[in-house]
Chains A and B, each alone.
Chain A
Amino acid sequence: MDRPRIKLDKKIVDYARELAKEITDEIQEMIQQHSTVSIERTVLRLFGVDGVTDDQIPIVNSVVDKLKEWHMLEDGVARTITNAMIVLNKDVQTVCEAIVDGLDLRSLPRAPEEKISQMMREISAEALDSIERKSQERESLLEELGDPPQPYKYLIVATGNIYEDVAQARSAVNQGADIIAVIRSTAQSLLDYVPYGATTEGYGGTYATQENFRIMRQALDEMAKKVGRYIRQVNYASGLCMPEIAAIASLEGLDILLNDAMYGILFRDINMIRTFTDQYTSRLLCAFAGITINTGEDNYLTTADAIERAHTVTASQLINEQFALKAGMKPRLMGLGHAFEINPEIEDGLLYEIAHAMLTRELFPDYPIKYMPPTKFMTGNIFKGYAMETLYNLVSVMTGQSIQLLGILTEAIHTPYLQDRYLALVNANYVFNNARHLGREILFKEDGFIERRANEVLKEAVKLLEHTREVGLLKAIEEGQFADISRRRDAGKGLEGVFRKSENYCNPIQEELERRLEVKG
């Protein structure tokens, strides 16, 4: 990608990364001591458990809840369930269905430890092999169809009905969309289970389910072959089921997941230990499946001022990067986020936007950076909003951003109409094509406004990181250092689903992931 450069103080860049590393080192120790109900359900899913009970409760939830009730969860689900498979000589699905129907595992005899270990290893290897095959399938399709030029045009569908979503996605791809994200139903991030099957009812979005993933994947692949370019599929792995969503996404071949180490804590009031622990497993899966993550730093600017608090974006990007590295992710999968959210009334606001965009680009040069459109200052004046989106698109193509979530002119009014999405593409197609090689012609003035502003934000970020290392990340969040939102470590949703691992805890899926990704557990 041709793009202009700015000079950042290398010593400060290195120092900032070192700070972020130390901050996350401490959290990683805590992560290793814990597991969550969602992580255990992920193990079951990858062992091959599927389906729901008569009451529409996922079988994996039902089984994990039972084990918790029997005080058997602290050891992890894997060993207990594998033992039952051996003793009863049944497959995992049959065993789990039997538990739902009342089978009590407490009274089962114990198979030889060696036999259990071997079987767990085999099942885990098989599960990861199938994810690997899916990932290779995606890569060869990408190679066959060809990768569209960046910035990729990213569009959202959110009708609540997966079949309607498919129709709208097809139309968007026809008009030039490269990435289709299905927004999930608004309250889903707070559900402690993953809904099941194809769904046609949702609010502000469509439920993320494995079947819905499959339906959209199939439709996008058909369209991709028709238009002759690879189309990426996005969903969300934030909320209470981060690792489970990552698991079903890797089984269904999704390309991108929204996955932020702190988003759930700050913006959904999910317990911090829960989120940190869950994000690790979810990112191991993403790293292994070749799924790009998109982090949610844009959200910092919707609650706080985009100029005053620009450094919180940078600090969060650096923290997200370190957490991702710990889960074995390569930079090419780290779609760190930022946004075009400066008050349009501010003189030279565009210079600030360019400076901030260049800072992100320069700090994370080969990363698939995700750039988010104006939302906070979008009004019902769709004409002005459309003008703002033009500038946003121009900054993006000029500074070489990678993933462009297209702004929608009716952002402040309702979920997009078909024509709103169409007009967003008309705008992006026009600007990206018209300014395709603008970036290679631009030299920013040495020590000019843009370069100085970028370094200034970086320095501010270092101050925040220094403070965060000093008090620890948990305390810094409690103090409200990020997004001006304060959360307590002993509060928040999903806390009851976190538990400390026993000495006998075993998670063969995670161990196999760590082994194959060469990260130390």
Chain B
Amino acid sequence: MIDLRNIRPYGDQMGDGAVQLSFTIPLEYGPLAREVAKQFCEKLGFQDITVTTMEDMGENFTFFVVYAKTTISVDASAIKIVAPKFKKMTREQLDDLVKREFNRQIVVVGATVGTDAHTVGLDSILNMKGFHGDYGLERYHAFKVYNMGAQVPPIELVKKAREVQADVVLVSQVVTQRNIHIRHLTELMDLLYAEGLREELLVIVGGPRITHELALELGYDAGFGAGTTPSDVANFIVQELLRKSSR
């Protein structure tokens, strides 16, 4: 039986707390760098620390791979997970449901905002072709999709949402540096409020560094992280819009 109140990483025995780490220490390759790496891991709460490789990267930088163990554990029984809520329905079911309940297409506007030039995430959710055999939103009769692509200024996205009378705004943030994605997302939300559009829209954000929790914190309706399939997003949109309209 797994003790849910005491979960820690698993190496090859339950409860061993084995972890692998890799990092760079900005010191010249040598015993001092090794000792710093070791003590750093100790301060993180690790024991049984083995430096399995220490390599000279030049210019006074040293690369480490470290194996270590920890006795720290987490009480999994006390954790509540926040995730977008939806039942998984098939594409046909969703198409039928939308036809029955809305009798029109749901209008979705998607964009990668700010300086981010990556459309990979957005495209895999929106494009006909989809991702991993899971068709994109364009494939659904239920949706009318406007994909604005990358590097869209938040104000342009807001304009488009108004122009096409969007039901849903989908924002993607893939590559980011110094948390600039947070700034872009906040800016977009502020604009939506300023333009009086926020209440009538479902606003969703996706990207490898996005969590549902972060999305809610920023005032979004949902956040989808890595591993999200287009059908997840499709299901959430339809079911959440239904919930909204019944409120």
Question: What residues of chain A have their CB less than 8 Å away from a CB belonging to chain B?
Answer: 160, 167, 170-171, 174-175, 185-187, 190, 203-204, 267-269, 302-303, 305, 375-376, 379-380, 412-415, 417-419, 422-423, 485
Bound together, the chains give a CA A423 to CA B116 distance in angstroms of 25
A-B contact pairs, 20 of them (CB 8 A): A160-B177, A171-B61, A174-B57, A174-B59, A175-B57, A186-B116, A186-B151, A187-B115, A204-B116, A204-B176, A303-B119, A379-B226, A380-B208, A412-B208, A414-B175, A414-B176, A418-B24, A418-B61, A419-B23, A419-B63
A417 near B123 with CB under 8 A, answer no
Across the interface, name the chain B residue whose C-beta is closest to A308.
B129
A-chain residues with CB within 8 Å of residue B208 when the two chains form the complex: 380, 412-413
Across the interface, name the chain B residue whose C-beta is closest to A185.
B115
A-chain residues with CB within 8 Å of residue B57 when the two chains form the complex: 171, 174-175, 418-419, 422
Across the interface, name the chain B residue whose C-beta is closest to A423.
B63
The verdict on B22 contacting chain A, using a C-beta distance below 8 Å, is yes
- Name the one of B116, B123, B226 contacting A303, with C-beta atoms under 8 angstroms: B123
B22 near A167 with CB under 8 A, answer no
Across the interface, name the chain A residue whose C-beta is closest to B178.
A203
Across the interface, name the chain B residue whose C-beta is closest to A413.
B208
Q: A174-B59, A414-B177, A415-B175 are in contact. List 14 more A-B contacts (CB 8 A).
A: A167-B59, A170-B58, A171-B57, A171-B58, A186-B151, A203-B178, A203-B180, A204-B116, A204-B117, A268-B151, A302-B120, A417-B24, A418-B61, A419-B22
Bound together, the chains give a CA A412 to CA B175 distance in angstroms of 8
A380 near B226 with CB under 8 A, answer yes
A-chain residues with CB within 8 Å of residue B63 when the two chains form the complex: 419, 422-423
B-chain residues with CB within 8 Å of residue A419 when the two chains form the complex: 22-24, 57, 63
Residues B69-122 near A (CB distance < 8 A): 115-117, 119-120
Bound together, the chains give a CA A380 to CA B22 distance in angstroms of 15
B59 near A170 with CB under 8 A, answer yes
A-chain residues with CB within 8 Å of residue B58 when the two chains form the complex: 170-171, 174-175
A-chain residues with CB within 8 Å of residue B175 when the two chains form the complex: 204, 414-415
Residues B1-60 near A (CB distance < 8 A): 22-24, 55, 57-59
B-chain residues with CB within 8 Å of residue A170 when the two chains form the complex: 58-59
B-chain residues with CB within 8 Å of residue A160 when the two chains form the complex: 177
- Name the one of B24, B129, B149, B226 contacting A305, with C-beta atoms under 8 angstroms: B129
Interface of B, secondary structure class, is loop
Give the most central of A375, A417, A422: most B CB within 10 Å: A422
Residues B209-230 near A (CB distance < 8 A): 226
A-chain residues with CB within 8 Å of residue B24 when the two chains form the complex: 417-419, 422
B-chain residues with CB within 8 Å of residue A414 when the two chains form the complex: 175-177
Across the interface, name the chain B residue whose C-beta is closest to A382.
B22
Bound together, the chains give a CA A420 to CA B58 distance in angstroms of 14
B115 near A204 with CB under 8 A, answer yes
B-chain residues with CB within 8 Å of residue A167 when the two chains form the complex: 59
Q: A171-B57, A305-B129, A379-B226 are in contact. Are A186 and B120 (CB under 8 A)?
A: no
Bound together, the chains give a CA A379 to CA B226 distance in angstroms of 9
Residues B148-178 near A (CB distance < 8 A): 149, 151, 175-178
B177 near A204 with CB under 8 A, answer yes
Question: What residues of chain B have their CB less than 8 Å away from a CB belonging to chain A?
Answer: 22-24, 55, 57-59, 61, 63, 115-117, 119-120, 123, 129, 149, 151, 175-178, 180, 208, 226
Across the interface, name the chain B residue whose C-beta is closest to A380.
B226
Bound together, the chains give a CA A305 to CA B208 distance in angstroms of 21
Report A267 CB to chain B, min CB distance, Å: 8
Across the interface, name the chain B residue whose C-beta is closest to A377.
B120
Bound together, the chains give a CA A112 to CA B24 distance in angstroms of 67
Bound together, the chains give a CA A175 to CA B59 distance in angstroms of 10
Bound together, the chains give a CA A305 to CA B123 distance in angstroms of 12
B-chain residues with CB within 8 Å of residue A302 when the two chains form the complex: 120
B-chain residues with CB within 8 Å of residue A267 when the two chains form the complex: 117
Report B219 CB to chain A, min CB distance, Å: 23
A-chain residues with CB within 8 Å of residue B61 when the two chains form the complex: 171, 418
Bound together, the chains give a CA A379 to CA B228 distance in angstroms of 12
Bound together, the chains give a CA A190 to CA B150 distance in angstroms of 12
Bound together, the chains give a CA A187 to CA B177 distance in angstroms of 13
A-chain residues with CB within 8 Å of residue B115 when the two chains form the complex: 185-187, 203-204
B-chain residues with CB within 8 Å of residue A380 when the two chains form the complex: 208, 226
Bound together, the chains give a CA A190 to CA B151 distance in angstroms of 10
A-chain residues with CB within 8 Å of residue B59 when the two chains form the complex: 167, 170-171, 174
Q: Which 9 A-B residue pairings sit nearest by Cβ, starting from the closest? A: A174-B58, A186-B115, A171-B59, A419-B24, A187-B115, A422-B57, A171-B58, A203-B115, A419-B63
Bound together, the chains give a CA A418 to CA B63 distance in angstroms of 9
Give the most central of A185, A187, A190, A419: most B CB within 10 Å: A419
Bound together, the chains give a CA A419 to CA B23 distance in angstroms of 7
B-chain residues with CB within 8 Å of residue A485 when the two chains form the complex: 149
Bound together, the chains give a CA A190 to CA B115 distance in angstroms of 10
Across the interface, name the chain A residue whose C-beta is closest to B175.
A204
Across the interface, name the chain A residue whose C-beta is closest to B133.
A345
Report A423 CB to chain B, min CB distance, Å: 8
B-chain residues with CB within 8 Å of residue A303 when the two chains form the complex: 119, 123
Across the interface, name the chain A residue whose C-beta is closest to B22.
A419
Across the interface, name the chain B residue whose C-beta is closest to A381.
B226
Report A299 CB to chain B, min CB distance, Å: 10
Report B128 CB to chain A, min CB distance, Å: 10
B-chain residues with CB within 8 Å of residue A186 when the two chains form the complex: 115-117, 151
Report A317 CB to chain B, min CB distance, Å: 22
Report A372 CB to chain B, min CB distance, Å: 14
Report B13 CB to chain A, min CB distance, Å: 22
Bound together, the chains give a CA A8 to CA B115 distance in angstroms of 42
B-chain residues with CB within 8 Å of residue A376 when the two chains form the complex: 120
B-chain residues with CB within 8 Å of residue A422 when the two chains form the complex: 24, 55, 57, 63
Report A479 CB to chain B, min CB distance, Å: 17
Bound together, the chains give a CA A302 to CA B22 distance in angstroms of 30
Across the interface, name the chain B residue whose C-beta is closest to A176.
B58
Report A301 CB to chain B, min CB distance, Å: 11
Bound together, the chains give a CA A485 to CA B22 distance in angstroms of 40
Across the interface, name the chain A residue whose C-beta is closest to B115.
A186
Give the most central of A185, A204, A302, A413: most B CB within 10 Å: A204
Across the interface, name the chain B residue whose C-beta is closest to A379.
B226
